[in-house]
Structure 1
Protein backbone atom coordinates (compact mmCIF):
# COMPACT_ATOMS: atom_id res chain seq x y z
CA UNK A 1 0.00 0.00 0.00
CA UNK A 2 1.57 3.32 -1.07
CA UNK A 3 0.18 6.55 0.35
CA UNK A 4 1.49 9.81 -1.16
CA UNK A 5 1.49 12.87 1.10
CA UNK A 6 1.62 16.22 -0.64
CA UNK A 7 3.25 19.22 1.01
CA UNK A 8 2.78 22.95 0.62
CA UNK A 9 6.42 23.41 -0.30
CA UNK A 10 5.98 21.18 -3.34
CA UNK A 11 7.52 18.08 -1.81
CA UNK A 12 6.04 14.63 -1.79
CA UNK A 13 6.62 11.85 0.67
CA UNK A 14 5.44 8.32 0.24
CA UNK A 15 5.03 5.76 3.01
CA UNK A 16 5.28 2.28 1.57
CA UNK A 17 5.46 -1.24 2.90
CA UNK A 18 8.95 -2.33 1.74
CA UNK A 19 9.33 -5.23 -0.52
CA UNK A 20 11.70 -5.18 1.39
CA UNK A 21 12.74 -1.71 0.97
CA UNK A 22 12.32 6.26 4.26
CA UNK A 23 13.25 12.98 6.27
CA UNK A 24 11.33 14.32 9.10
CA UNK A 25 10.61 17.64 10.74
CA UNK A 26 8.06 20.41 10.37
CA UNK A 27 7.44 21.74 6.88
CA UNK A 28 9.21 19.01 4.96
CA UNK A 29 8.44 15.51 3.64
CA UNK A 30 8.22 12.80 6.27
CA UNK A 31 8.23 9.03 6.07
CA UNK A 32 7.65 6.52 8.84
CA UNK A 33 8.43 2.80 9.23
CA UNK A 34 5.50 0.77 8.01
CA UNK A 35 5.78 -2.36 10.09
CA UNK A 36 7.99 -4.93 11.73
CA UNK A 37 10.49 -5.01 8.88
CA UNK A 38 12.91 -2.16 9.55
CA UNK A 39 13.68 -1.78 5.85
CA UNK A 40 11.74 1.12 4.41
CA UNK A 41 11.51 3.39 1.45
CA UNK A 42 11.30 7.17 1.21
CA UNK A 43 10.54 8.88 -2.07
CA UNK A 44 10.75 12.66 -2.25
CA UNK A 45 10.43 15.26 -4.95
CA UNK A 46 13.05 17.95 -4.56
CA UNK A 47 11.47 21.27 -5.57
CA UNK A 48 13.50 23.28 -8.01
CA UNK A 49 12.84 26.43 -5.99
CA UNK A 50 13.81 24.82 -2.71
CA UNK A 51 17.51 25.59 -2.91
CA UNK A 52 19.90 27.71 -4.87
CA UNK A 53 21.90 26.02 -7.55
CA UNK A 54 24.99 24.45 -6.04
CA UNK A 55 28.01 24.90 -8.27
CA UNK A 56 29.58 21.64 -9.29
CA UNK A 57 33.27 21.83 -8.39
CA UNK A 58 35.28 19.18 -10.13
CA UNK A 59 37.88 19.17 -7.37
CA UNK A 60 35.30 17.94 -4.88
CA UNK A 61 35.00 14.59 -6.56
CA UNK A 62 37.60 11.96 -5.79
CA UNK A 63 37.45 9.06 -8.13
CA UNK A 64 37.80 5.91 -6.07
CA UNK A 65 39.23 2.55 -6.97
CA UNK A 66 41.53 1.84 -9.86
CA UNK A 67 41.31 3.07 -13.43
CA UNK A 68 39.50 -0.11 -14.35
CA UNK A 69 36.64 0.73 -12.02
CA UNK A 70 37.59 -1.91 -9.44
CA UNK A 71 38.50 -0.99 -5.88
CA UNK A 72 40.41 -4.23 -5.39
CA UNK A 73 43.69 -5.42 -6.80
CA UNK A 74 43.97 -7.96 -9.59
CA UNK A 75 44.62 -11.50 -8.45
CA UNK A 76 46.82 -13.96 -10.30
CA UNK A 77 45.72 -17.55 -10.53
CA UNK A 78 48.18 -20.03 -9.06
CA UNK A 79 50.06 -22.00 -11.70
CA UNK A 80 49.17 -25.67 -11.95
CA UNK A 81 52.23 -27.98 -11.88
CA UNK A 82 52.78 -30.05 -14.97
CA UNK A 83 51.86 -33.69 -14.79
CA UNK A 84 48.81 -35.23 -13.23
CA UNK A 85 46.32 -32.62 -12.09
CA UNK A 86 45.07 -32.76 -8.53
CA UNK A 87 41.29 -32.62 -8.32
CA UNK A 88 40.08 -29.37 -6.82
CA UNK A 89 38.39 -29.70 -3.44
CA UNK A 90 34.62 -29.23 -3.49
CA UNK A 91 33.55 -25.64 -3.04
CA UNK A 92 31.54 -24.97 0.07
CA UNK A 93 28.10 -23.54 -0.52
CA UNK A 94 27.79 -19.86 0.39
CA UNK A 95 26.31 -19.27 3.81
CA UNK A 96 23.64 -16.67 4.57
CA UNK A 97 25.06 -13.49 6.10
CA UNK A 98 23.56 -11.25 8.76
CA UNK A 99 24.04 -7.82 7.18
CA UNK A 100 22.67 -5.85 10.12
CA UNK A 101 26.12 -5.36 11.67
CA UNK A 102 29.64 -5.11 10.29
CA UNK A 103 30.76 -7.66 12.90
CA UNK A 104 28.63 -10.32 11.23
CA UNK A 105 29.08 -8.84 7.75
CA UNK A 106 32.81 -8.00 7.58
CA UNK A 107 33.23 -8.35 3.81
CA UNK A 108 34.05 -5.07 2.08
CA UNK A 109 31.57 -3.72 -0.48
CA UNK A 110 33.41 -3.40 -3.80
CA UNK A 111 32.32 -1.06 -6.57
CA UNK A 112 32.06 -3.87 -9.11
CA UNK A 113 29.84 -5.78 -6.72
CA UNK A 114 27.25 -3.00 -6.89
CA UNK A 115 27.75 -1.71 -10.44
CA UNK A 116 29.42 -4.51 -12.42
CA UNK A 117 28.55 -3.21 -15.88
CA UNK A 118 29.13 0.10 -17.71
CA UNK A 119 25.60 -0.23 -19.13
CA UNK A 120 22.37 -1.20 -17.36
CA UNK A 121 19.06 -2.29 -18.88
CA UNK A 122 16.15 -1.24 -16.68
CA UNK A 123 12.51 -1.26 -17.70
CA UNK A 124 13.30 -1.25 -21.40
CA UNK A 125 15.75 1.64 -21.06
CA UNK A 126 19.51 1.51 -21.48
CA UNK A 127 21.67 3.56 -19.12
CA UNK A 128 25.38 4.15 -19.70
CA UNK A 129 27.79 4.88 -16.85
CA UNK A 130 29.13 8.44 -16.95
CA UNK A 131 31.21 8.48 -13.75
CA UNK A 132 31.90 6.42 -10.64
CA UNK A 133 33.53 6.92 -7.26
CA UNK A 134 34.19 5.42 -3.85
CA UNK A 135 34.11 8.21 -1.29
CA UNK A 136 35.51 7.83 2.18
CA UNK A 137 35.68 11.61 2.44
CA UNK A 138 31.94 12.07 2.83
CA UNK A 139 31.91 15.75 1.83
CA UNK A 140 32.11 14.58 -1.77
CA UNK A 141 28.94 12.48 -1.48
CA UNK A 142 26.49 14.48 0.67
CA UNK A 143 25.44 17.96 1.77
CA UNK A 144 24.25 19.67 4.94
CA UNK A 145 22.22 17.68 7.44
CA UNK A 146 22.73 14.43 5.56
CA UNK A 147 26.48 14.90 5.58
CA UNK A 148 26.42 15.50 9.33
CA UNK A 149 24.29 12.40 9.90
CA UNK A 150 26.66 10.22 7.87
CA UNK A 151 29.62 11.47 9.89
CA UNK A 152 27.82 11.19 13.23
CA UNK A 153 26.67 7.62 12.58
CA UNK A 154 30.09 6.46 11.41
CA UNK A 155 29.61 5.94 7.68
CA UNK A 156 32.52 3.89 6.35
CA UNK A 157 32.23 4.95 2.70
CA UNK A 158 29.79 5.71 -0.11
CA UNK A 159 29.96 3.66 -3.31
CA UNK A 160 28.22 5.49 -6.14
CA UNK A 161 27.89 5.96 -9.89
CA UNK A 162 26.13 8.27 -12.32
CA UNK A 163 24.30 6.80 -15.32
CA UNK A 164 22.60 8.48 -18.30
CA UNK A 165 19.86 7.12 -20.51
CA UNK A 166 20.64 6.71 -24.20
CA UNK A 167 18.78 9.89 -25.12
CA UNK A 168 20.78 11.81 -22.49
CA UNK A 169 17.60 13.23 -20.99
CA UNK A 170 17.89 11.70 -17.51
CA UNK A 171 20.91 11.37 -15.25
CA UNK A 172 20.84 9.13 -12.17
CA UNK A 173 23.33 9.14 -9.32
CA UNK A 174 22.80 5.96 -7.34
CA UNK A 175 24.85 4.65 -4.46
CA UNK A 176 25.18 2.78 -1.19
CA UNK A 177 26.30 4.30 2.10
CA UNK A 178 28.06 1.63 4.16
CA UNK A 179 27.18 1.99 7.85
CA UNK A 180 28.43 0.03 10.90
CA UNK A 181 24.98 -1.11 12.04
CA UNK A 182 21.37 -1.29 10.95
CA UNK A 183 20.43 1.24 13.65
CA UNK A 184 22.90 3.72 12.16
CA UNK A 185 21.54 3.09 8.66
CA UNK A 186 17.97 3.72 9.79
CA UNK A 187 18.94 7.06 11.37
CA UNK A 188 20.74 8.15 8.22
CA UNK A 189 17.78 7.19 6.02
CA UNK A 190 15.60 9.63 7.99
CA UNK A 191 18.17 12.42 8.02
CA UNK A 192 18.70 15.39 5.78
CA UNK A 193 16.27 17.50 3.81
CA UNK A 194 16.11 16.76 0.07
CA UNK A 195 13.87 19.78 -0.52
CA UNK A 196 16.77 21.99 0.62
CA UNK A 197 19.28 19.71 -1.09
CA UNK A 198 20.77 18.70 2.24
CA UNK A 199 20.95 15.12 1.07
CA UNK A 200 23.10 12.82 -1.07
CA UNK A 201 24.62 14.79 -3.93
CA UNK A 202 24.21 14.27 -7.63
CA UNK A 203 27.61 13.35 -9.04
CA UNK A 204 28.52 15.38 -12.13
CA UNK A 205 30.00 13.47 -15.04
CA UNK A 206 31.47 14.10 -18.47
CA UNK A 207 28.08 14.08 -20.16
CA UNK A 208 26.05 15.45 -17.22
CA UNK A 209 28.14 18.22 -15.67
CA UNK A 210 25.25 20.15 -14.10
CA UNK A 211 23.40 17.60 -11.93
CA UNK A 212 24.91 18.51 -8.56
CA UNK A 213 21.98 20.77 -7.71
CA UNK A 214 18.43 20.81 -6.38
CA UNK A 215 15.47 19.99 -8.58
CA UNK A 216 15.79 16.21 -8.86
CA UNK A 217 13.88 13.26 -7.44
CA UNK A 218 15.26 11.44 -4.40
CA UNK A 219 14.58 7.88 -3.28
CA UNK A 220 16.10 5.85 -0.44
CA UNK A 221 15.76 2.40 1.10
CA UNK A 222 17.58 0.42 3.79
CA UNK A 223 19.00 -3.10 3.65
CA UNK A 224 20.58 -4.18 6.90
CA UNK A 225 23.44 -1.78 7.62
CA UNK A 226 23.35 -0.27 4.12
CA UNK A 227 21.56 2.89 2.94
CA UNK A 228 20.73 2.61 -0.77
CA UNK A 229 19.70 5.75 -2.65
CA UNK A 230 18.98 7.15 -6.10
CA UNK A 231 18.84 10.78 -7.24
CA UNK A 232 17.24 11.36 -10.66
CA UNK A 233 17.93 14.67 -12.37
CA UNK A 234 17.59 16.12 -15.84
CA UNK A 235 20.83 15.42 -17.68
CA UNK A 236 21.02 19.14 -18.51
CA UNK A 237 20.59 20.05 -14.84
CA UNK A 238 17.04 21.36 -15.24
CA UNK A 239 14.52 20.30 -12.55
CA UNK A 240 12.37 17.29 -13.28
CA UNK A 241 8.61 17.81 -13.51
CA UNK A 242 6.74 17.27 -10.22
CA UNK A 243 4.84 14.01 -10.24
CA UNK A 244 6.60 12.71 -13.36
CA UNK A 245 5.84 8.95 -13.26
CA UNK A 246 8.86 8.11 -15.43
CA UNK A 247 11.24 9.76 -12.99
CA UNK A 248 9.68 7.94 -10.04
CA UNK A 249 9.88 4.64 -11.88
CA UNK A 250 13.54 5.14 -12.81
CA UNK A 251 14.42 5.98 -9.20
CA UNK A 252 12.76 2.79 -7.97
CA UNK A 253 14.43 0.70 -10.67
CA UNK A 254 17.86 1.93 -9.60
CA UNK A 255 17.09 1.15 -5.95
CA UNK A 256 16.06 -2.35 -6.91
CA UNK A 257 19.19 -2.77 -9.00
CA UNK A 258 21.59 -1.56 -6.29
CA UNK A 259 20.21 -3.84 -3.55
CA UNK A 260 20.97 -7.01 -5.55
CA UNK A 261 24.39 -7.77 -3.98
CA UNK A 262 23.02 -7.07 -0.50
CA UNK A 263 20.10 -9.43 -0.95
CA UNK A 264 22.54 -12.01 -2.35
CA UNK A 265 24.59 -11.83 0.87
CA UNK A 266 21.49 -12.45 2.94
CA UNK A 267 20.51 -15.49 0.88
CA UNK A 268 24.02 -16.91 0.95
Structure 2
Protein backbone atom coordinates (compact mmCIF):
# COMPACT_ATOMS: atom_id res chain seq x y z
CA UNK A 1 0.00 0.00 0.00
CA UNK A 2 1.19 3.52 -0.70
CA UNK A 3 2.15 5.38 2.46
CA UNK A 4 0.75 8.87 3.06
CA UNK A 5 3.23 11.73 2.70
CA UNK A 6 5.00 12.86 5.83
CA UNK A 7 6.49 16.26 6.49
CA UNK A 8 9.17 16.16 9.22
CA UNK A 9 9.62 19.07 11.66
CA UNK A 10 11.50 21.95 10.07
CA UNK A 11 11.18 20.56 6.55
CA UNK A 12 10.81 22.88 3.59
CA UNK A 13 7.60 21.94 1.82
CA UNK A 14 7.21 22.82 -1.88
CA UNK A 15 3.80 23.91 -3.15
CA UNK A 16 2.12 20.97 -4.86
CA UNK A 17 -1.24 19.61 -5.91
CA UNK A 18 -0.67 16.22 -4.32
CA UNK A 19 -2.17 14.74 -1.21
CA UNK A 20 -1.75 17.14 1.76
CA UNK A 21 0.88 16.15 4.25
CA UNK A 22 -0.22 14.67 7.54
CA UNK A 23 1.31 16.06 10.73
CA UNK A 24 3.36 13.64 12.80
CA UNK A 25 1.47 12.12 15.72
CA UNK A 26 2.74 12.41 19.24
CA UNK A 27 3.04 9.00 20.92
CA UNK A 28 2.70 8.66 24.68
CA UNK A 29 5.73 7.18 26.48
CA UNK A 30 7.67 7.04 23.24
CA UNK A 31 10.78 8.90 22.22
CA UNK A 32 10.71 10.14 18.68
CA UNK A 33 13.72 10.19 16.44
CA UNK A 34 14.26 12.97 13.95
CA UNK A 35 12.97 12.62 10.44
CA UNK A 36 13.87 15.51 8.14
CA UNK A 37 13.45 16.18 4.46
CA UNK A 38 11.05 17.52 1.91
CA UNK A 39 8.03 15.42 0.94
CA UNK A 40 8.42 14.47 -2.68
CA UNK A 41 6.49 13.01 -5.56
CA UNK A 42 7.10 9.61 -7.08
CA UNK A 43 5.90 8.64 -10.51
CA UNK A 44 6.26 6.18 -13.36
CA UNK A 45 5.24 6.39 -16.95
CA UNK A 46 2.86 9.32 -16.50
CA UNK A 47 1.30 8.11 -13.24
CA UNK A 48 2.12 10.18 -10.15
CA UNK A 49 2.16 8.76 -6.64
CA UNK A 50 3.18 10.38 -3.39
CA UNK A 51 5.57 8.93 -0.85
CA UNK A 52 7.30 10.44 2.16
CA UNK A 53 10.08 9.64 4.49
CA UNK A 54 9.47 8.95 8.14
CA UNK A 55 11.77 7.34 10.63
CA UNK A 56 10.82 6.62 14.17
CA UNK A 57 11.74 4.45 17.09
CA UNK A 58 10.53 4.07 20.62
CA UNK A 59 11.26 2.42 23.90
CA UNK A 60 9.01 1.83 26.87
CA UNK A 61 10.19 2.47 30.39
CA UNK A 62 9.50 -0.51 32.74
CA UNK A 63 6.89 0.19 35.38
CA UNK A 64 8.02 0.08 39.00
CA UNK A 65 5.41 -1.61 41.19
CA UNK A 66 5.00 -0.61 44.85
CA UNK A 67 6.34 -2.98 47.51
CA UNK A 68 3.91 -5.56 48.95
CA UNK A 69 1.76 -4.25 51.80
CA UNK A 70 3.25 -5.40 55.12
CA UNK A 71 1.20 -7.19 57.78
CA UNK A 72 1.45 -4.24 60.17
CA UNK A 73 -0.64 -1.12 59.86
CA UNK A 74 1.65 1.12 57.86
CA UNK A 75 0.95 3.92 55.44
CA UNK A 76 2.15 3.12 51.92
CA UNK A 77 2.91 6.13 49.73
CA UNK A 78 1.19 6.09 46.36
CA UNK A 79 3.61 5.71 43.42
CA UNK A 80 3.86 8.80 41.26
CA UNK A 81 2.66 8.35 37.74
CA UNK A 82 5.05 10.61 35.87
CA UNK A 83 6.26 10.49 32.31
CA UNK A 84 10.00 10.57 31.61
CA UNK A 85 11.11 13.81 29.96
CA UNK A 86 11.32 13.65 26.19
CA UNK A 87 14.77 14.10 24.70
CA UNK A 88 15.57 17.31 22.89
CA UNK A 89 15.14 17.05 19.13
CA UNK A 90 18.28 16.45 17.13
CA UNK A 91 19.48 19.55 15.30
CA UNK A 92 19.09 18.89 11.58
CA UNK A 93 20.44 22.17 10.20
CA UNK A 94 23.95 20.72 10.25
CA UNK A 95 23.16 19.14 6.87
CA UNK A 96 22.10 22.44 5.28
CA UNK A 97 25.57 23.60 4.23
CA UNK A 98 29.00 22.21 3.48
CA UNK A 99 30.35 24.70 6.02
CA UNK A 100 28.54 22.91 8.85
CA UNK A 101 28.82 19.50 7.16
CA UNK A 102 32.28 19.57 5.53
CA UNK A 103 33.04 15.83 5.49
CA UNK A 104 32.94 14.41 1.96
CA UNK A 105 30.46 11.64 1.34
CA UNK A 106 32.20 8.47 0.11
CA UNK A 107 30.99 5.25 -1.47
CA UNK A 108 32.06 3.38 1.65
CA UNK A 109 29.87 5.58 3.83
CA UNK A 110 26.90 5.63 1.47
CA UNK A 111 26.89 1.90 0.64
CA UNK A 112 28.81 0.23 3.43
CA UNK A 113 27.09 -3.16 3.18
CA UNK A 114 26.90 -5.34 0.09
CA UNK A 115 23.87 -7.25 1.38
CA UNK A 116 20.94 -5.47 3.03
CA UNK A 117 17.56 -6.64 4.27
CA UNK A 118 14.65 -4.22 3.90
CA UNK A 119 11.08 -5.09 4.85
CA UNK A 120 11.99 -8.78 4.97
CA UNK A 121 13.50 -8.83 1.47
CA UNK A 122 17.23 -9.32 0.86
CA UNK A 123 19.03 -7.15 -1.69
CA UNK A 124 22.54 -7.57 -3.06
CA UNK A 125 24.58 -4.59 -4.21
CA UNK A 126 25.86 -5.48 -7.70
CA UNK A 127 27.30 -2.15 -8.88
CA UNK A 128 28.41 1.14 -7.29
CA UNK A 129 29.62 4.35 -8.88
CA UNK A 130 30.66 7.90 -7.94
CA UNK A 131 31.08 10.83 -10.33
CA UNK A 132 31.68 14.56 -10.20
CA UNK A 133 29.95 14.97 -13.58
CA UNK A 134 26.49 15.10 -12.04
CA UNK A 135 24.74 16.11 -15.26
CA UNK A 136 25.97 12.95 -16.99
CA UNK A 137 23.93 10.68 -14.69
CA UNK A 138 20.64 12.56 -15.04
CA UNK A 139 18.20 13.52 -17.81
CA UNK A 140 17.04 16.73 -19.49
CA UNK A 141 16.50 20.00 -17.65
CA UNK A 142 17.07 18.22 -14.37
CA UNK A 143 20.59 17.30 -15.50
CA UNK A 144 21.22 20.94 -16.44
CA UNK A 145 19.93 22.06 -13.03
CA UNK A 146 22.38 19.75 -11.24
CA UNK A 147 25.25 21.45 -13.03
CA UNK A 148 23.83 24.95 -12.55
CA UNK A 149 23.36 24.43 -8.82
CA UNK A 150 26.96 23.19 -8.49
CA UNK A 151 26.28 19.55 -7.65
CA UNK A 152 29.70 18.24 -6.60
CA UNK A 153 29.13 14.49 -6.79
CA UNK A 154 26.51 11.80 -7.29
CA UNK A 155 26.91 8.43 -5.59
CA UNK A 156 24.85 5.55 -6.98
CA UNK A 157 24.45 1.84 -6.33
CA UNK A 158 22.25 -0.79 -7.93
CA UNK A 159 20.70 -3.53 -5.82
CA UNK A 160 19.00 -6.74 -6.98
CA UNK A 161 16.74 -8.87 -4.80
CA UNK A 162 17.48 -12.55 -4.13
CA UNK A 163 14.97 -13.70 -6.76
CA UNK A 164 16.39 -11.28 -9.34
CA UNK A 165 12.97 -9.77 -9.89
CA UNK A 166 13.89 -6.15 -9.15
CA UNK A 167 16.88 -3.96 -10.04
CA UNK A 168 16.90 -0.69 -8.11
CA UNK A 169 19.34 2.18 -8.46
CA UNK A 170 19.56 4.38 -5.38
CA UNK A 171 21.92 7.16 -4.41
CA UNK A 172 22.69 10.63 -3.10
CA UNK A 173 23.50 13.87 -4.93
CA UNK A 174 25.62 16.40 -3.02
CA UNK A 175 25.24 20.20 -3.23
CA UNK A 176 26.94 23.13 -1.47
CA UNK A 177 23.73 24.27 0.26
CA UNK A 178 20.19 23.23 0.98
CA UNK A 179 18.90 26.04 -1.24
CA UNK A 180 20.87 24.66 -4.19
CA UNK A 181 19.49 21.15 -3.62
CA UNK A 182 15.91 22.44 -3.46
CA UNK A 183 16.36 24.53 -6.62
CA UNK A 184 17.69 21.54 -8.56
CA UNK A 185 14.99 19.23 -7.25
CA UNK A 186 12.28 21.55 -8.58
CA UNK A 187 13.42 20.81 -12.14
CA UNK A 188 12.61 17.10 -11.97
CA UNK A 189 9.62 15.59 -13.76
CA UNK A 190 9.11 12.07 -12.48
CA UNK A 191 6.10 11.42 -14.69
CA UNK A 192 8.36 11.87 -17.73
CA UNK A 193 11.40 10.23 -16.08
CA UNK A 194 13.32 13.53 -16.01
CA UNK A 195 15.37 12.22 -13.12
CA UNK A 196 18.57 10.34 -12.34
CA UNK A 197 19.57 7.55 -14.72
CA UNK A 198 19.60 3.94 -13.61
CA UNK A 199 23.00 2.32 -13.11
CA UNK A 200 23.33 -0.90 -15.13
CA UNK A 201 25.16 -3.86 -13.62
CA UNK A 202 26.19 -7.37 -14.70
CA UNK A 203 23.67 -9.37 -16.74
CA UNK A 204 24.42 -12.41 -14.60
CA UNK A 205 23.13 -10.48 -11.58
CA UNK A 206 19.95 -9.29 -13.29
CA UNK A 207 20.94 -5.61 -13.51
CA UNK A 208 21.95 -5.12 -17.15
CA UNK A 209 18.70 -3.34 -18.06
CA UNK A 210 18.52 -0.98 -15.07
CA UNK A 211 19.48 2.02 -17.24
CA UNK A 212 16.95 1.44 -20.04
CA UNK A 213 13.88 0.08 -18.24
CA UNK A 214 10.75 1.93 -17.19
CA UNK A 215 10.04 2.00 -13.48
CA UNK A 216 9.16 4.02 -10.39
CA UNK A 217 11.20 6.93 -9.03
CA UNK A 218 11.28 8.21 -5.47
CA UNK A 219 13.26 10.99 -3.85
CA UNK A 220 13.59 13.52 -1.06
CA UNK A 221 15.63 16.60 -0.25
CA UNK A 222 17.38 16.52 3.12
CA UNK A 223 19.65 19.46 3.82
CA UNK A 224 22.13 19.85 0.96
CA UNK A 225 21.43 16.37 -0.39
CA UNK A 226 18.97 14.80 -2.82
CA UNK A 227 18.32 11.16 -1.95
CA UNK A 228 16.86 9.17 -4.84
CA UNK A 229 15.90 5.76 -6.16
CA UNK A 230 14.61 4.24 -9.39
CA UNK A 231 13.12 0.75 -9.26
CA UNK A 232 12.76 -1.45 -12.35
CA UNK A 233 12.06 -5.06 -13.20
CA UNK A 234 15.20 -7.09 -13.85
CA UNK A 235 13.84 -8.45 -17.14
CA UNK A 236 13.44 -4.90 -18.41
CA UNK A 237 9.70 -4.95 -19.06
CA UNK A 238 7.73 -1.76 -18.53
CA UNK A 239 5.37 -1.99 -15.54
CA UNK A 240 1.68 -2.11 -16.37
CA UNK A 241 -1.08 -0.26 -14.54
CA UNK A 242 -1.87 -3.49 -12.67
CA UNK A 243 1.69 -3.90 -11.38
CA UNK A 244 1.88 -1.83 -8.21
CA UNK A 245 4.85 -3.40 -6.44
CA UNK A 246 7.65 -1.22 -7.81
CA UNK A 247 6.47 1.93 -6.02
CA UNK A 248 6.89 0.58 -2.47
CA UNK A 249 10.19 -1.07 -3.44
CA UNK A 250 11.55 2.22 -4.75
CA UNK A 251 10.41 4.08 -1.63
CA UNK A 252 11.95 1.47 0.66
CA UNK A 253 15.39 1.72 -0.99
CA UNK A 254 15.17 5.53 -0.93
CA UNK A 255 14.42 5.46 2.80
CA UNK A 256 17.24 3.02 3.45
CA UNK A 257 19.73 5.29 1.68
CA UNK A 258 18.45 8.32 3.60
CA UNK A 259 19.55 6.53 6.78
CA UNK A 260 23.13 7.42 5.79
CA UNK A 261 22.34 11.09 6.42
CA UNK A 262 20.47 10.35 9.63
CA UNK A 263 23.55 8.56 10.90
CA UNK A 264 25.61 11.71 10.30
CA UNK A 265 23.31 13.59 12.64
CA UNK A 266 23.39 11.01 15.41
CA UNK A 267 27.05 10.00 15.38
C-alpha distance in 2, partners of 1:115/1:129? 8
Verify: 1:179 aligned to 2:168, yes or no: no
Partner of 1:128: 124
Partner of 2:232: 233
In structure 2, do the counterparts of structure 1 residues 241 and 41 end up closer, same or farther at CA, with 3 Å as the change threshold? farther
Aligned positions of 1:91-240 closer than 5 A: 98-207=94-203, 208-213=207-212, 215-240=214-239
C-alpha distance in 1, partners of 2:157/2:42? 20
In structure 2, do the counterparts of structure 1 residues 197 and 96 end up closer, same or farther at CA, with 3 Å as the change threshold? closer
Say which SS state the counterpart of residue 255 (structure 2) adopts: helix
Verify: 1:16 aligned to 2:5, yes or no: yes
Please give the TM-score of this superposition, normalised by the length of structure 2.
0.68
Say which SS state the counterpart of residue 16 (structure 1) adopts: coil
Q: Unpaired runs of 5+ in structure 1?
A: 5-13, 50-94
1:197–1:213 contact (8 Å) kept in structure 2: no
Say which SS state the counterpart of residue 95 (structure 2) adopts: coil
Give RMSD over aligned pairs: 3.3
Deviations 1:183-225 (A, max 9, x none): 1111222222223322100111103212213521000011111
2:98–2:176 contact (8 Å) kept in structure 1: yes
Residue 242 of structure 1: how far off its partner (Å): 3.5
Deviations 1:98-142 (A, max 9, x none): 110001110000111111111111111111111110011124311
C-alpha distance in 2, partners of 1:194/1:206? 26
In structure 2, do the counterparts of structure 1 residues 126 and 35 end up closer, same or farther at CA, with 3 Å as the change threshold? closer
Deviations 1:14-64 (A, max 9, x none): 982235789x99xxx966995999722323222189xxxxxxxxxxxxxxx
Deviations 1:217-257 (A, max 9, x none): 00001111110001001112212233744322211211221
Q: Unpaired runs of 5+ in structure 2?
A: 24-34, 48-90
Verify: 1:47 aligned to 2:42, yes or no: no
1:220–1:229 contact (8 Å) kept in structure 2: yes
1:15–1:42 contact (8 Å) kept in structure 2: no
Higher-Rg structure is: 2
Alignment size in residue pairs = 208
1:34–1:40 contact (8 Å) kept in structure 2: no
C-alpha distance in 2, partners of 1:183/1:99? 11
Residue 151 of structure 1: how far off its partner (Å): 0.5
C-alpha distance in 2, partners of 1:156/1:200? 15
1:196–1:214 contact (8 Å) kept in structure 2: no
Say which SS state the counterpart of residue 240 (structure 2) adopts: coil
